[in-house]
Structure 1
Amino acid sequence: MADETREAMEYDVVIVGAGPAGLSAAIRLKQLDADCNVVVLEKGSEVGAHILSGAVLDPSGLDALIPDWKEKGAPITVPVREDNFYALGEAGQLRIPNFPMPPLMNNHGNYIVSMGNVCRWMAEQAEELGVEIFPGMACSEIVYGDNGEVKGVVAGEFGKNPDGTKGDGYEPGMELHGKYVFLSEGVRGSLSKQVIEKYDLAKGKEPQKFGLGMKEIWEVDPAKHKEGSVTHTMGWPLGTKNTGGTFIYHLDNNQVYVGMIVDLNYKNPHLFPYMEFQRFKHHPMVADLLEGGKRVAYGARAVTKGGIQSMPKAAFPGGALLGCSVGLVNLPRIKGNHNAMHSGRQAADAAYAAIQAGRGGDTLEEYDTELHKGPVGRDLKKVRNVAPLNGRFGLLGGLLVGGFDMWCNTLFGGSLLGTLGHGKSDAESTEDASKHKVIDYPKPDGKLSFDRLTNVAFSFTNHEESQPAHLTLKDPSIPVNVNLPKYAGLSARYCPAGVYEFVGEGADTKFQINFQNCVHCKTCDIKDPSQNIVWTTPQGGDGPNYPNM
């Protein structure tokens, strides 16, 4: 219900999150009706501040939304010129030829981009059409209507004390109401999570699966730079039991994106994803590229990888889930931005038709149907078994059987395997530390590899320290009493920003949360075996300030 102490503003559509999905929805609504009243609320200090993606962009989503994007000056100017796939060993590499790979793996026609900059450009297009965009406005609560539907959100609450009480400068925020509310918060959004649970949107679906994506931007020696080159690797250092992979993308201005995705279904709690990424850069092939260069930015973000069988229902009473809030990443292609744009456009079409028909506050069933039957569903259906096969057979087995399955889908429009399930969530996949060996990681050298806190400084993260911690524990005793003895305190390793640490020894051990370091990746909310950590939004504008991720 609405809070009478807060001011309220009425809109046709309220959109939470200025990523590719939310901005696509805003643009499409204004294309359909210039008088449609649309607002976009972004928790980052500016549009793009919290956007992190690889990214090689499939432009199909943008083609459908803004066909003349080239003429309008979109920052999409580096076409992919070569595609390389390697299997790595510790000291060498084996080139995997392109010809056995299904056509969907071909990056011809795609572009190496900064999705942060693409979103900044999309925001300009939206504002030119009359969309209101408010950065620095974290949405902390959902407002429900009289019939239990989502009616709006609370945004812009500031000034709480560390204990959660209202401080001297407390601002209650504002309620923004809409005929429909779109949640495009990205992976594991806090409001999306609440809505999925309240309306049981994941009923009958497989558990969502995730990876942790970590990325650095490097300026390299011009003699080593190959603009338009795309490289993906698998194997070392993760090995064959742990799935994931790496990417090296050469964009313009002698810059290179270097990154790793570690699938969060790993069993060994001693695994340290961040240090696996740092170790990767010491492979001779990578070290040769980076030596003499400098790292200029760092960030991390969770990635969805469950596929079409893990998508919750995308429509709920009063609104819709868009983009990675639904989980629309095509895992083998490592691409989801095009699908996010498609989903935003489709949700806008459904909401516009409903508003024109005099509706509001109901469930946009037509959006959920189109999401599965349209370009997003067709894209994801072909690759739906890749993640389950990786989980069952590991890297090599998953690659062979998954490749065969993708060819079957490509050639015959179907799979001999049907649709496979995932079984366990990533949290449930974690096994007792006693079943696994401790992994010895080399110390970062400060030239190619870096400790977490040094790297976090290159994410330009900042949180106002006087606010309540946005990372909370359901049971404060679990980290020391359960996770430390049973899982070797894995939260001190799965976080790529050093937020969690165990201090002291024996009976004096305490669990410390350094929330100021948080880069909003959501890994803790996903991987914690006890599902004891809850990620909520800090006050607006806080978090990373990515320049061009």
Structure 2
Amino acid sequence: MSEAIATEAIEREAMEYDVVIVGAGPAGLSAAIRLKQLAEAAGSEITVAVLEKGSEVGAHILSGAVIDPSGINELLPNWEELGIPLETKVTRDKFVILGPHGDLDISFLPFPKWMLNHGNYIASLGNVCRSLAALAEALGVEIYPGMAASEVVYNEDGSVKGVVAGVFGIDKNGEKGPDYQPGIELHAKYTFIGEGVRGSLAKQLQARFGLTNGREPQKFGIGIKELWQVPDENFEPGLTQHTFGWPLDNATGGGSFMYHFGDNYVAIGFVLHLNYKNPWLSPF
């Protein structure tokens, strides 16, 4: 159902849903699937829309990830039959300290359980999201890729009414260009914000409702990753390796990772905590 409405002197079309989810990542898609499951179990109908700023689901999910299957076991107990691509079970954890002149394998040390990956899977998180999106659509979820949500819409009492999506033609100065399109409003009984790190709508809501007041500040990092396909002699399926130390100093958090999975693929990358002090440091 749609109707013409005016917000801040901009006339937009509006669409009504029970739930609007911003972000087609693992959290947003899992929420959409779970809502449909609960509605089906209750014998009722629920309308769910998922907005994704990327050109397709998974376009902004670039992580080569080690995934704990406990969540997906609860959401989709038959996920293997459904073809969710958790490709390679972790077979070995390796931890190495690097120095400027060599390395030390410390895998023999008693690491805490949360650092160990026994029972987890190595996978492309983008491919996992694409599979979840297909399942969600089969349940009746409407997914709109290429639709970035740009602002929150509020009810008269100040509660969240929905979001504005699909605004195009804004120039670098924030002005309307010749190809400007005002977008569309999506209204919902519940609006789920699953944008990921430093989402623009999340920041608006944090400021408006004081969600970060009296809370510990969030911690951020940057990750750089490449995907290599290596010869058999360099490939150990299920190996996860993490390093500490060089090229970082003792006051800078971060390290590298290598995950062996799939068809001789190695996800290799470096993570750096963004509270580093050296302004000349370049993780790239």
Q: TM-score range by the shorter chain?
A: over 0.9
> 18, 23, 45: which is aligned to 2:24?
18
| RMSD value, Cα | 1.5
Q: CA offsets per residue over residues 128-177 of structure 1, 9 Å max, x none?
A: 10000000000011111101111110101112344444334322110000
Q: CA offsets per residue over residues 177-208 of structure 1, 9 Å max, x none?
A: 00010100000001101101110011111111
Q: Is the contact between residue 87 and residue 261 of structure 2 (CA under 8 Å) also seen in structure 1? A: no
1:202 equivalent in structure 2: 212
How many pairs align? 274
2:150 equivalent in structure 1: 140
C-alpha spacing 1:244/1:137, structure 2 compared with 1 (3 Å):
same
Mapping 1:128-527, distance limit 5 Å: 128-274=138-284
The letter of the residue matching 1:267 is: K
Q: Is the contact between residue 258 and residue 269 of structure 2 (CA under 8 Å) also seen in structure 1? A: yes
**How far off its partner does 1:41 sit?**
0.2
Q: CA offsets per residue over residues 56-83 of structure 1, 9 Å max, x none?
A: 0001111111111011111112000111
Q: CA offsets per residue over residues 444-472 of structure 1, 9 Å max, x none?
A: xxxxxxxxxxxxxxxxxxxxxxxxxxxxx
Q: CA offsets per residue over residues 403-440 of structure 1, 9 Å max, x none?
A: xxxxxxxxxxxxxxxxxxxxxxxxxxxxxxxxxxxxxx
> 70, 84, 96: which is aligned to 2:94?
84
Match of 2:164, SS state, is strand
The letter of the residue matching 2:245 is: G
**How far off its partner does 1:104 sit?**
2.5
TM-score, normalised via structure 2 length: 0.93
Q: CA offsets per residue over residues 337-357 of structure 1, 9 Å max, x none?
A: xxxxxxxxxxxxxxxxxxxxx
Asked if 1:74 is matched to 2:88, the reply is no
CA distance in 1, matches of 2:132, 2:138: 10
CA distance in 2, matches of 1:154, 1:132: 16
2:69 equivalent in structure 1: 59
**How far off its partner does 1:214 sit?**
1.0
Unaligned runs of 5+ in 2: none
Q: Is the contact between residue 19 and residue 184 of structure 1 (CA under 8 Å) also seen in structure 2? A: yes
Match of 1:5, SS state, is strand
CA distance in 2, matches of 1:133, 1:6: 20
Match of 1:113, SS state, is strand
2:132 equivalent in structure 1: 122
More strand per residue: 1 or 2?
A: 2
Identity of aligned residues (%): 59
The letter of the residue matching 1:136 is: G
2:33 equivalent in structure 1: 27
CA distance in 1, matches of 2:227, 2:162: 38
More helix per residue: 1 or 2?
A: 1
The letter of the residue matching 1:49 is: A
Match of 2:130, SS state, is helix
Unaligned runs of 5+ in 1: 275-549
TM-score, normalised via structure 1 length: 0.49
The letter of the residue matching 2:176 is: K
CA distance in 1, matches of 2:279, 2:178: 43
